[in-house]
Amino acid sequence: YDRRAAASAAGASFNIGLKNTENGIITRFPPEPSGYLHIGHAKAALLNDYFAHEYPCPSSRRALICRFDDTNPSKENEEFQESILLDLSLLGITPDRISYSSDYFQQMFDACIQLIKDGKAYADDTPKVNMQEQRMDGIASARRKMSVEENLARFDDMKTGSEEGLKWCIRAKISIDDPNKALRDPVIYRCNLQPHHRMGTTWKMYPTYDFCAPFLDSLEEVTHALRTNEYRDRNAQYHWMQNALGIRKVDIWDFSRLNFIKTVLSKRKLTTLVDTGVVWGWDDPRMPTVRGIRRRGMTIPALREFILKLGPSQNILNLDWTTFWATNKKHIDPIAARYTAIPKENAIIANVAGIDTPNTIEKPKHNKNTGLGTKKVCLSNEVFIGQEDAKSFSLNEEITLMNWGNAVVSNISTEPTTGKVTALDLQLHLQGDPKKTEKKITWLATTPSNLVPVELVNFDYLLTRDKIEKGEEVTDFLNAQTEFRTEAWADCNVVNLAENDIIQFDRVGYFRLDRAFHDGQPAIFFNIPTGKRN
Ligand code: ATP
Ligand code: MG
Ligand code: MG
């Protein structure tokens, strides 16, 4: 797709004063294969893709690297890796190069040895909690003064994954008490005996993100490392690593994290929702994953527009979903074919006089987009009408039956206590002007061959809280009911729809077909939000 056109269509301001762009830019998107991509990742991926191709590198075709940051075997696997590549391609992103942090384990091991030999890293067996406290209080670890030989020996123990080795980690020797706590001797290597999905049991210890990112960004010729600005405190540490290793420095350019109300964008928390069965899976329409929002009916062009419109802004955002879905509506409204659905509950049968024989006419699927073709409209002397519509009628009122014409209410009986309409007769008045009626009504001929059973599904937010704070668990703030199903009749054309089709049921809303009608099983449609606040 045309990135610049997309960005300018989105009205984005990309004049962000990126430095050192004369020789082009190489960026990387570094997902950890520990879950499916969510829309926060989509923002990072689209920005990396945008900049890499906006400032092409004459000497290299590596503009955008997708680097799987697979340094924690406890959380990662093949399935996630493959899903990430597929989701990137759904987003219209084809990385120029795919790499894996695990491809560089030997080089990172050698680099760590070098750091130890240079006195810039040391082995530590301070228990985790104490280490945390010492870092907070600016107290040196008792191991900070160990000799290079001893440090190397402990690193070797770690390498074999021995009982002794498992007690240790390696820390960069930066500072004990720098006001920037990210500089207080961060851990750069830790043990993990879990087999790695690519490397098997070759390695028993793995580099941390803090070590891996600056090393590989430099090695892979990345010119600009884009990352979310919550990491800003770690920028100094990132550059310390490159300095200490004597490798090329990489510019960091940061942007704000994407957050939405009543939504978690953290793989760990999303994993909890999947594992505890709160949702059907990673592609559940209530999930903020690329798959989930697509299944809910978000289109990729709209997602791209939405993200590029936010642009590389620095504000920490906690967006509500209004603009997100409003952007989508703009994209789907001109192309969503129109059909009719009447909820079964509360549907009443009205008699229509003035039609000789039931028959079928052709009408455009979309009045403003006739390119979508036509649909059948089945006419009959008996039609379903919604109770709410019927209730609003008065005797002798002229109304419009959409896709047919005007009709006059010739008889209406109501139940005195409830006001419920129990009988309704309409007299066609096709010469009447539909522009002059107040009520345009959806209706469906009751002819069995005209009726397709459907289920209309509405969803609500999974969470009851706008924001889940650090230390709080998503499972404590779950919305009790988030799925609402309505059985309805739809018109005969709906049998021809395919899964993923996006349509509008007149006066009901936009829907994405999740399961087509087959073997008498109702078609299942998911309601697509339009951004209206409810
Ligand atoms: P998560 O908590 O979802 O696991 P992460 O940052 O640990 O997030 P990674 O797979 O390491 O997940 O992220 C890949 C890239 O996506 C990183 O560059 C990260 O900064 C970016 N990213 C992750 N979440 C967001 C977000 N909410 N908004 C913008 N970018 C994000
Ligand atoms: Mg990460
Ligand atoms: Mg995270």
The pLDDT of residue 8 is 65
Ligand nearest the Cα of residue 226 is: 1
Which region, left, alpha or beta, applies to residue 143 given φ > 0 means left and ψ of -120 to 50 means alpha? alpha
Query: Which of 9, 237, 231, 211 lies closest to 113, judged by CA?
Result: 211
DSSP 400: E
Q: Whose CA is nearest to atom 22 of ligand 1?
A: 41
Pocket of ligand 1, candidates 27, 37, 39, 41: which has the most ligand atoms within 8 Å of its Cβ, to mutate? 41
Q: Left, alpha or beta for 62 (phi > 0: left; psi -120 to 50: alpha)?
A: alpha
Helix (H) or strand (E) holding 445: strand 444-445
Give residue 318's pLDDT.
85
Structure tokens at 475: 């499972």
C-alpha–C-alpha distance, residues 341 and 444, integer Å: 8
Which ligand sits nearest to residue 210's alpha carbon?
2
Tell me, in angstroms, the distance from the centre of ligand 3 to residue 268's CA: 7
pLDDT confidence of residue 171: 98
Nearest atom of ligand 1 to the alpha carbon of 226:
18
Which protein residue has the closest C-alpha to ligand 1 atom 16?
41
Strands 359-364 and 440-441: unpaired
Query: Is the pLDDT confidence value at 43 over 60?
Result: yes
pTM for the structure as a whole: 0.91
Mapped onto helix, strand or coil, the DSSP state of residue 179 is coil
Q: What is the DSSP letter of 273?
A: H
In sequence order, the 6+-apart residues with CB closer than 8 A to the CB of 416 are none
Neighbours of ion ligand 2 (CB under 5 A): 32
Ligand with an atom nearest the CA of residue 268: 1
CA distance 21 to 23: 6
Minimal-distance CA residue to ligand 1 atom 3: 266
pLDDT per position as a tens digit, 447-500: 999 999 999 999 999 999 999 998 899 999 999 999 999 999 999 999 999 999
**245-288: pLDDT as tens digits:** 999 999 999 889 999 999 999 999 999 999 999 999 999 999 99
Ligand 1 neighbourhood includes 258 CB (under 6 angstroms): yes
Band the pLDDT of 296: cuts 50, 70, 90: very high
- Better pLDDT: 343 or 357: 343
Q: Which helix (H) or strand (E) holds 137?
A: helix 128-137
Give yes or no for residue 32 CB within 6 A of ligand 1.
Answer: yes
Please give the pLDDT value at position 57: 77
Quick check: CB of 43 below 6 Å from ligand 1? Answer: yes
Could you give phi then psi for residue 510, rounded to 5 degrees?
-90, 145
Going from the Cα of 459 to the center of ligand 1, the distance in angstroms, rounded, reads: 26
What value does the mean pLDDT take over residues 48-57? 86
User: Is residue 340 a contact partner of residue 368, using CB atoms and an 8 Å limit?
Assistant: no
Report all structural domains of the chain as residue ranges with CATH numbers, in order of start. Answer: 3-101+212-328 (3.40.50.620), 105-209 (3.90.800.10), 339-446 (2.40.240.10)
Task: Give the position, in ligand 1's atom list, of the atom nearest the Cα of 258.
Answer: 28
Euclidean distance between the first and the last CA atom of the chain, given in angstroms as a whole number: 34
Ligand nearest, relative to CA of residue 67: 1
| Residue carrying structure tokens 């706590």 | 181
Using one digit for the tens of pLDDT, what is the confidence trace for 411-439? 999 999 999 999 999 999 999 999 999 99
CA 249 to chain centre: 33
> What is the whole-number distance in angstroms between the Cα of residue 342 and the centre of ligand 1?
43
DSSP states along 303-315: HHHHHHHHTT--S
Could you identify the atom of ligand 1 that is nearest to the CA of residue 44?
30
User: Which of 228, 232, 253, 274 for mutating ligand 1's site (highest number of atoms within 8 Å of CB)?
Assistant: 228
- Average pLDDT value over all residues in the chain: 94
Instruction: Give, using CA atoms, the residue closest to atom 10 of ligand 1.
Output: 31
CB 276 within 8 A of CB 284: no
| pLDDT value at 54 more than 80 | yes
Instruction: Looking at the CA of residue 69, tell me the nearest atom of ligand 1.
Output: 11
Q: What ipTM score was computed for the predicted complex, to two decimals?
A: 0.96
| Percent of the chain with pLDDT strictly greater than 90 | 87
Report the atom number in ligand 1 closest to the C-alpha of 228: 20
Write down the pLDDT at residue 356: 86
Residue 13 has pLDDT above 60, yes or no: no
pLDDT in tens, 304-315: 999 888 877 777
User: What's the pLDDT score for residue 22?
Assistant: 82
Structure confidence by residue, pLDDT tens digits, 507-531: 999 999 999 999 999 999 999 999 8
Going 119 to 120 to 121 to 122, the CA torsion angle's sign is positive
CA distance 107 to 46: 30
> What is the rounded distance in angstroms from the CA atom of residue 219 to the CA atom of residue 221?
5
Q: How far apart, in whole angstroms, are the C-alpha atoms of residue 85 and residue 83?
A: 6
pLDDT in tens, 179-212: 999 999 999 999 999 999 999 999 999 999 999 9
Q: What is the pLDDT of residue 311?
A: 76
Sign of CA dihedral 507, 511, 517, 523: negative
Question: Rounded to 5 degrees, what angle do the CA atoms 100, 164, 173 make?
Answer: 60
Q: Determine which helix (DSSP H) or strand (DSSP E) holds 384, and give its type and residue range.
A: strand 382-386
Any ligand 1 atom below 6 A from CB of 441: no
The Cα 441–Cα 131 span in angstroms is: 70
pLDDT in tens, 153-165: 999 999 999 999 9
Residue 224 Cα to ligand 2 midpoint, Å, equals 18
- Say how far apart CA 492 and CA 378 lie, in whole Å: 8
> What H or E segment, with its residue span, contains residue 46?
helix 39-54
Give pLDDT tens digits for 110-155. Answer: 999 999 999 999 999 999 999 999 999 999 999 999 999 999 999 9
pLDDT in tens, 331-344: 999 999 999 999 99
Ligand 1: which atom is nearest the Cα of residue 259? 27
DSSP string, 196-215: BTTTBTS-SEEE-HHHHHHH
**What pLDDT score was predicted for residue 313?**
73
- Token pair 């800003």 is at which residue? 232
Q: How far is the CA of 237 from the centre of ligand 1 (A)?
A: 19
Supply the pLDDT for residue 23: 84
